[in-house]
Amino acid sequence: MGITVIQAGTVETVVVRVTDEVEGISALPAGTTYSLFDSDGGPVTGIQDLVATIDGMDALCLIDTTAIEGGGDFELYLYFNVGAEFPVLGPHKIRVNV
């Protein structure tokens, strides 16, 4: 998985494609959330526990970089539940260019 590059000062949709290797699900559940963390592991204000738009096995995550100063590298994590399981998927690498 590569790095998704987005421009600072924009609001962009980052698509995270999820594969289920055991074929237990065919679509991500409604209520799938995502959070963004900086390179030091600190939460990015305003991008925590947001609900993703789901399209099958794709999570569409709206990333607002207008409040991110200086750009840099970030990590996106997805959270959802399937039955009794609560997987956390990530990190999905995002670079914000100034």
What confidence tens digit (pLDDT) does each residue in 21-80 have?
Answer: 877 789 999 999 999 999 999 999 999 999 999 999 999 999 999 988 889 999 999 999
Residue matched to tokens 């998704």: 4
Residues paired with residue 8 on neighbouring β-strands, in sequence order? none
Element (H, E) at 35: strand 33-38
Does the pTM surpass 0.95? The reply is no
pLDDT, residue 24, reads 79
pLDDT, residue 68, reads 85
Domains and CATH numbers, the chain: 4-97 (2.60.40.1930)
pLDDT, residue 1, reads 61
Ramachandran region of residue 84, left (φ > 0), alpha (ψ -120 to 50) or beta?
A: alpha
Q: 93 CB contacts (<8 Å, ≥6 apart)? A: 1, 2, 3, 4, 73, 74, 75, 76
Residues paired with residue 64 on neighbouring β-strands, in sequence order? 11
What's the rounded Cα separation, in Å, for the pair 67 and 11? Answer: 10
pLDDT, residue 22, reads 77
